[in-house]
Amino acid sequence: MSLSGRLEIFDLGSLLRMLTRERRTGRLVLRYGDNTIQVFLYDGSVVYATETRKNNRLGMLLKESGYITQSALDECLALSLKNKERLGKTLVQKGVVSLERLNQFLLRQAENTVYNVLLWDSGGFEYNDVPLNLGGAVEYKLDAVDVLLGASRRIDAIGIIRKMTPGDTDILKIAADMVGDGEIRRNADESKVLALIDGNRSVRQVLDKSGFDELAAYKILYSLISSGKVEISMSKMTPEELAARAVKALGKVDPRQFREALDHLGLKRSSSLRVVLARIFREALSEEQIMTAAKNQALKISSPEEKNALRKLREENRVPFFREIIELLCRSVAA
């Protein structure tokens, strides 16, 4: 699979959660200005991350953090080259660092890298499935959602957080595909806010009832949204609200990105549902036009197979800018 686009359209949280759920193995490249970040995944887990603006070589990072001495680093580097092994494995085998310490360090390194991307206000990304040879290497696998969750907790600028969270009047719900308790590390504060989300309360109501100050409450909510445990309830929105959101979201998407997203959804070029979505996209110039387009195109989804495909797309959609138009189309089909 190959996927590319803009982070203004497909945010990092959605992207990492998708790659995790699909258990992808490959390389995710994120670019902003002269900075390039690479995140390597194996079977849906993060195994390494690098950043061009920082010296991310493992040995130097461990030395600068005080975990190893220069002499120990030189010795292990020479041995790893001689044996054609990864430095991490050599460091552990020589007893210079423990496997637990190495994994803890790599987790912090990945969190720091993801944290930097969360602060970007724009940027591009490109993901490609590529084989990763972990044979003979120290295998450390970091849950991508845990990394995202840990990084999101560190953001302390309320302006940034509010920009990345839903509006105050949006209704929150527990995600349908929420992973089981224990799979994602949560603290007591996050559990308290999560307990307030019932599919009826708005963002503002949840924040007010939480008892936390504004900054703390937004940070907790953003952590839950980033980890995929909480999402906006589409069912509580009026058609006009959905249309307004759809126009705003699709206005940032160019035709090439839209076609790539359709490919990612698994819709063949001959699929009638793909044709319907493409026609709605072309009409997404105003709220009125997109609502009319959804009603007109819904008439073309008549067979049980097509309706089932649409329902499945609604349940399994992983492309954020498709959410509103799929919801509008589903409502029109059911009407």
Do 77 and 89 fall within a single domain? yes
> Would you place residue 283 in the very low, low, confident or very high pLDDT band (cuts 50, 70, 90)?
confident
What's phi and psi for 5, nearest 5 deg?
A: 170, -160
Domains in the chain, number? 3
Residue pLDDT, tens place only, 153-182: 777 777 777 777 788 888 999 887 664 444
Q: How far is CA 156 from CA 108, 115, 193, 326, in A?
A: 18, 11, 18, 34
Q: What per-residue string of b and e applies to 168-198 under the rule 16 or more CB within 10 Å gives b?
A: eebbbbeeeebbeeeebebeebbeebbebbe
Q: How far is CA 127 from CA 1, 6, 15, 69, 319, in A?
A: 8, 12, 9, 36, 14
Does residue 149 fall inside a structural domain? no
Do 129 and 187 fall within a single domain? no
Do 268 and 287 fall within a single domain? yes
Do 243 and 313 fall within a single domain? yes
Task: Supply the DSSP string of 64-91, one letter for each residue.
Answer: HTTSS-HHHHHHHHHHHHHHT--HHHHH
Of 113, 141, 169, the residue at which a domain comes to its end is 141
Positive or negative torsion for Cα 301, 303, 306, 308:
positive
Q: Is the pTM of this model over 0.75?
A: no
Do 166 and 228 fall within a single domain? yes
Do 7 and 134 fall within a single domain? yes
* Residue that the structure tokens 């509580």 belong to: 236
Range of the domain at 187: 155-235
CB 259 within 8 A of CB 19: no
264, pLDDT greater than 80: no
282, pLDDT greater than 50: yes
Does residue 150 fall inside a structural domain? no
Q: What is the mean pLDDT of the chain?
A: 82
Do 175 and 244 fall within a single domain? no
Does residue 148 fall inside a structural domain? no
Q: What's the mean pLDDT in 3-20?
A: 83
* Residue that the structure tokens 């050599």 belong to: 90
Q: What local confidence, expressed as pLDDT, does residue 263 receive?
A: 81
Do 49 and 38 fall within a single domain? yes
Helices and strands in the chain: count of H runs, count of E runs: 16, 8
* Residues ≥6 apart with Cβ < 8 Å to 257: 4, 5, 6, 9
DSSP-derived secondary structure letter, 321: G
Do 109 and 41 fall within a single domain? yes
Do 128 and 14 fall within a single domain? yes
Do 193 and 273 fall within a single domain? no
Type of residue found at 197? I
